[in-house]
Amino acid sequence: MTDLSKSTVFITGATSGFGAAAAHRFAQVGSRLVLCGRRTERLEALRAELHVPVHILTLDVRDRDAVFAAIESLPPEFAEIDVLVNNAGLAAGLGKAHEADLDDWDVMVDTNIKGVMYCTRAVLPGMIARNRGHLIQLGSVAATYPYPGGNAYGGTKAFVAQFSLGLRSDLVGTKVRVTVIEPGLCETEFSIVRFRGDVERANKVYENTTPLTGDDVAECIFWTASLPANININRLEVMPVVQAFSPFTIHRVPST
C-alpha cells in the first residue's frame, strides 16, 4: 500500500462535507495537510481539531492568480504536494434550463470547471518534476445520469470526468495517478448551498432515507490514494444502497 503518513495532501473545499471529512481521514495516518476554502474561521477550527501539521489557505478557487500565488508560496514543508483532492464545488439551483439563473451557471462553471483546472495546472508541474503524485477529482453521478434541473451542474461534472481521463492520457509514462470519484446522494451542506440556504428544502432531499455520509466519501478518497503505487483507479462511482436508476421518461399525450 502507499504510505500516506509522510505525504502532503492538499484539499480544496475543506471547510465542509467531503473535504472536511477527508482532512480527518488523512490526519488519522499522520499526513501533512494543506486545507483550503473561503471560510477562514472554519479552516482554523479544523486545524485546531487535527493533530498533524496543517497549513490553511483562505482561497477562492475561481481566482486564477490567487490559486497560482498560493501554491507557489507554500511554506517549504508543505510545498511538495503528493495528493491533490480537487473537491471544492457546488450545485446552484435546480431550475429547468429555460428558467435557470445564468449567474448560477456561471458560478458552477467557474468553480467546478475552472477551479479544478487552475488547481490541477498549478500543482501538476511539481508532481511531474518529482515523478510522484495523485490527483483526486470530485465528479458526480450527475456527470453520467441526467435529471431534471441538473443541466449545467451535470455538465460541469461531465467535464471533470473527461478532463480526468484526458490527464491520464497525458500522464502515461509518469508515476502520477488520476482518479475521479463520482458520488451519488450524500448528505453534506451541498443541498443547503444548492437551495441558497433553505435548510427545510435541503433536509427534504435526505428525508426518510439513508444517504452516503461525508465520511463514506472520505473513505473512498483515502482508499484510492492508499492503494499500491502501480494501481490507478480511473473512475469510482459510488451510490448509497437506497439509490438506483429511473426508466426513461416518455411523454405521452392522453388520447381523447
Q: What is the DSSP string of 229-242?
A: TT----EEEE--TT
Question: Do residues 182 and 157 touch, judged by C-beta distance below 8 A?
Answer: yes
Residue 111 interacting with ligand NDP (CB under 6 A):
yes
Q: What are the φ and ψ backbone dihedral angles of 196, each rounded to 5 degrees? A: 50, 45
**What residues from 134 to 173 belong to the interface with ligand NDP (CB under 6 A)?**
138, 140
Size of the site for ligand 8X3 (CB under 6 A): 5
Cβ 167 to ligand 8X3 shortest distance, Å: 20
**What residues from 49 to 88 belong to the interface with ligand NDP (CB under 6 A)?**
59-62, 87-88
Size of the site for ligand NDP (CB under 6 A): 30
- The CB-based long-range contact list for 120-125 (8 Å cut-off, 24+ gap) reads 120/84, 120/86, 120/163, 120/167, 122/67, 122/68, 122/71, 122/72, 123/10, 123/71, 123/81, 123/84, 124/176
Distance between CA atoms of residues 115 and 51, nearest Å: 29
Burial 223-246 (b: 16+ CB within 10 A, else e): ebbbeeeeebbebbbbbbeeeeee
Residue 141 interacting with ligand 8X3 (CB under 6 A):
yes
Of 66-74, 143-151, 181-189, 239-247, which part binds ligand NDP (CB under 6 A)? 181-189
Single out the residue of 8, 15, 140, 224 in contact with ligand 8X3 (rule: CB under 6 A). 140
Distance between CA atoms of residues 117 and 123, nearest Å: 10
Single out the residue of 1, 3, 39, 210 in contact with ligand NDP (rule: CB under 6 A). 39
Candidate list 118, 147, 153, 206, residue with the active-site label: 153
With CB atoms as reference, the residue minimizing the distance to ligand NDP is: 17
H helix or E strand, kind and range, residue 18: helix 17-28
Cβ 211 to ligand NDP shortest distance, Å: 7
Cβ distance to ligand NDP smaller for residue 85 or 132:
85
Report what 60 binds from ligand 8X3, ligand NDP, none; CB cut-off 5-8 Å by kind: ligand NDP
Is 153 noted as a catalytic residue in this protein?
Answer: yes
The residues carrying an active-site annotation are 153
Q: Kindly list the residues in this chain that would bind ligand 8X3 in the complex (CB under 6 A).
A: 140-142, 150, 184
